[in-house]
Structure 1
Amino acid sequence: MSTHDEEVMYATRSPILAYVQNLESSRLKLMQLEQELQRARQQGMLMQSGYMGNHGLSVGGNGALAFDIEYAKWLDEHHNQINDLRLALNSQADDEEVRLLVDSLMAHHDVIFKLKSIGTRSDVFHMLSGLWTTPAERCFMWLGGFRSSELLKMIVSHLEPLTDQQLIGICNLQQSSQQAEDALSQGMEALQQSLTETLSPSSFSTSSCSDNVSNYMNQMAIAMGKLGTLENFLRQADLLRLQTLQQMRRILNTRQAARALLAISDYFSRLRALSSLWLARPRD
Structure 2
Amino acid sequence: MAHEFLIKPNMANTSCNSTDRNKQENLYESWMNNQQEELKELQNAIALARKNERNNVELNELLEKMVHNFRGYVNGRSRLARVDVSPFYAPTWCTPLENSVLWIGGCRPSSFIRLIYALCGIDIESRLAEYLQLQRQIIAEERKLSSRLASLQEDVVDQPIAKVAKNCDTEEGENEPLDKHGHNMANLLEEADELRMKTLKEILRILTPIQGVEYLAAAKRIRLCLQQWGKKREQEHSNN
Shared fold, TM over 0.5: yes
What's the CA shift for 1:88?
A: 1.9
CA 1:147 to 1:156, structure 2 compared with 1: closer, same or farther past 3 Å?
Answer: same
Shift of 1:137: 1.4
TM-aligned CA deviation for residue 199 of structure 1: 5.8
Instruction: State the partner residue of 2:180.
Output: 225
Give the Å deviation of 1:273: 1.4
Conserved? CA contact 2:84–2:182, under 8 Å? no
Is the Cα contact below 8 Å between 2:90 and 2:105 reproduced in 1? yes
CA offsets, 1:155-183, max 9 Å, x none?
A: 3232631243x222221221111111111
CA contact (8 A) 2:38 2:66 kept: yes
Distance 1:224 1:104 in 2: 36
Q: Does 1:265 align with 2:227?
A: no
Q: CA deviation at 1:241?
A: 0.6
Q: Which residue of 1 aligns with 2:61?
A: 100
Q: 1:227 and 1:67, CA in 2 relative to 1: closer, same or farther beyond 3 A?
A: closer
For residues 215-272 of structure 1, the C-alpha deviation after alignment (integer angstroms, 9 at most, x for no partner) is: x879753343233211111111111111111111111110111111112111111111
Pair 1:140-2:101 in alignment: yes
Q: Which amino acid aligns with 1:193?
A: E
Q: Cα–Cα, structure 1 residues 109 and 173, in superposed 2: closer, same or farther, change >3 Å? A: same
Where does residue 50 of structure 1 map in the other structure?
Answer: none
- Cα distance in 2 for partners of 1:225, 1:200 equals 10
User: Which structure has more RCO (C-alpha within 8 Å, separation ≥ 6)?
Assistant: 2
Give yes or no for contact 1:85–1:98 (8 Å, CA) kept in 2.
no
Instruction: Report the AA paired with residue 62 of structure 1.
Output: T
Question: Which residue identity does 1:77 align to in structure 2?
Answer: N
User: What are the superposed Cα offsets for residues 176-211 of structure 1, whole Å, 9 maximum, x if unpaired?
Assistant: 11111111111111112222122676x69xxxxxxx
1:193-204 paired onto structure 2 within 5 Å: 193-198=154-159
Give the letter aligned to residue 249 of structure 1: L
- Cα shift readout 1:24-49 (whole Å, capped 9, x = no counterpart): 99x959x85xx99xx8xxxxxxxxxx
| Other-structure match for 1:87 | 44
Deviation larger for 149-158 or 247-256: 149-158
Distance change >3 Å, CA 200–CA 64, structure 1 → 2: closer
Other structure's SS at 1:275 match: helix
Change (3 A) 1:260 1:229: same
**Partner of residue 197, structure 2:** 242
Q: How does 1:1-284 map to 2 (within 5 A)?
A: 62-91=19-48, 92=50, 93-95=53-55, 96-158=57-119, 160-164=122-126, 166-198=127-159, 220-281=175-236, 283-284=239-240
Size of the aligned set, in residue pairs, is: 224
Counterpart in the other structure of 1:17: none
Structure 1 residue 74 displacement after superposition: 2.7
Say which SS state the counterpart of residue 82 (structure 2) adopts. Answer: helix
**How far apart are residue 123 of structure 1 and its match?**
1.5
Aligned partners of 2:31, 2:153: CA distance in 1, in Å? 32
Question: Which range moved further: 101-110 or 257-266?
Answer: 101-110
Structure 1 residue 72: Cα displacement: 1.7
Moved over 6 A (4+): 216-219
Q: 2:20 is matched by which residue type in structure 1?
A: G
Asked if structure 2 preserves the Cα contact closer than 8 Å seen for 1:82 and 1:262, the reply is: yes
Q: From the superposition, tell whether residues 225 and 236 of structure 1 become closer, same or farther in structure 2 (CA, over 3 Å).
A: same
SS for the counterpart of 1:122 is coil
TM-score (norm: length of structure 2)? 0.80
Identity of aligned residues (%): 19
Q: Distance in 1 between matches of 2:76 and 2:208?
A: 28
**Partners of 2:236 and 2:229 in 1: CA distance:** 10
Q: Contact conserved, 2:116 with 2:122, CA < 8 A, in 1?
A: no
Post-superposition offset of 1:61: 6.7
Contact 1:130 1:145 in 2 (8 A): no
Structure 1 residue 100, shift from structure 2 partner: 2.4
Gaps of 5+ in 2: 1-6
